[in-house]
Structure 1
Amino acid sequence: MTTIYCKQNSNEKTDFYMIVDGVHYFLFSQKRYYGVIKYYLNGVCLKDAINHKRGRSDFAIHRTMAKLPGYIKYIEKEYGILVLNQSKRKLKEAA
């Protein structure tokens, strides 16, 4: 199961990470938002991390959810892993 979580760093920013098969990957940093920290701090499964229905009415959470797929795709290319269902489908179609 892939998990997305965040940690606060010392520069008034929040760092986002992804755990895939026990390996932690850094995704990005962004300005600190209370609602975003509260939602992602303890870790959220990938499906819920990008599901806008789970974002309540917090605009900062929705913006973060919109950013995640792009950064995850970069990590997939950089490290040669498959995380998103879209990437897995593309690989099957190519084979």
Structure 2
Amino acid sequence: MPRVTTKGQVTIPKPIREELGIEPGDEVAFEETDAGYTIRKQEPTTAEGGDPFEKYRGSAGSDHTMPERMRRLRGTYPRDVDREAEDADSEADV
């Protein structure tokens, strides 16, 4: 059975953390019920209570696929794989 430390901290048992999906750094909420209190994982929020990721939703809108965008960001573009294979075969014949 977990005990409260002098700092008011308690360790949430691993099976409960796993069931609730609680990981280090996550916030939890205690909610009062008729039977006492319940604990649940708190979704990330900003200081104003909003979703911290909302401002980024849709900002990567593009007709390109993610691999295409990553290649462009990295400065690498798709290679002609068939041509490279032919070049390697012709070099092997020499």
Normalising to structure 2: TM-score of the pair?
A: 0.22
Q: Which structure: greater strand fraction?
A: 1
Q: Which structure: greater helix fraction?
A: 1
Kindly indicate whether structure 1 or structure 2 has the higher relative contact order, using CA contacts under 8 Å at least 6 residues apart: 1
Structure whose CA Rg is larger: 2
